[in-house]
Amino acid sequence: MLVKCKCCARKIEKDSAYKIEHITKSGNKSNYYYCSKDEYESNEKEKDFYKKCQYTTDRILGEKCCDNSRNKKLSELHEKGYTYEEIYQCVSDLEKNLDSAIANKWNEFTSSYNKIAYIFGAINKEIDNYKGKVIKTNEVETVEEIQEYRGRRNVTRSNKPTLMDIIKGASNG
C-alpha cells in the first residue's frame, strides 16, 4: 500500500516509510509518514528555526505580531532559497544592531506593518552574507526562555468600549 510523505508529498511504500504517531484534536490516533528519519528530523529542525524567527522578530518589535505580514515576509525569504536557519542567524544578529538604530525612528511608525517592513528591509540587505554560512553559536534558546517571553508580551487595548463595559453601563444607568 502506498502512503504520501508529509514533507515532500512523494508516494512511498507503507512498510518502508518512517512513521510518526500523532494524536488529533479529537483524541484519535493518526499516522504521519516520511521518506526517512533524516527527512523527518530536518523538517522538524526547519519548523523550530521558523518559530525562533517568529519569536526573535517579536522581541525586536517589542510586542507579539498579530498580523500575517511577518509570516509572509519569512516565507518570501524562504522561497528565495534561504533556509530558516540562515534567516534566524541573520535576524538574531540584526536584533543586537537594530535596537540602537530603531530607537530613534520607532515612534515615527504608525502601524506594526511599517515596523515589520523596516525590519525586513534590513534583513533583505544583510541576508546574502549568511547564504550557506550558518555560524554555530553557543547561544541556545530554550523552551523556558520562550515560555518566559510569552508571559511578558505587551498587549495593547484599544479605547473602544468592550461588551462588558456596555453591559456595566446599561446596568448602572
pLDDT grade for 154, boundaries at 50, 70 and 90: very low
Can you tell me the mean pLDDT for 100-124? 79
**Averaged pLDDT score across all residues of the chain:** 79
Range 51-69 average pLDDT = 84
CB 17 within 8 A of CB 34: yes
Confidence of residue 159 (pLDDT cuts 50, 70, 90): low
Domain ranges of the chain: 1-35, 44-154
**Helix, strand and coil percent figures for the chain, each rounded to 5:** 55, 10, 30
Contact predicate 35/12, CB 8 Å: yes
Query: What pLDDT, on the 0 to 100 scale, is given for residue 45?
Result: 92
Please state whether the predicted TM-score (pTM) of the whole model is above 0.75: no
pLDDT at 153: 47
Q: Can you tell me the distance from the alpha carbon of 70 to that of 58, in angstroms, rounded to the nearest whole number? A: 9
Mean pLDDT computed over 159-170: 70
Instruction: Report the pLDDT value the prediction gives residue 144, as an integer from 0 to 100.
Output: 53
Report the Cα 106 to chain-centroid distance in Å: 22
| CB-based contact 3:12 (threshold 8 Å) | yes
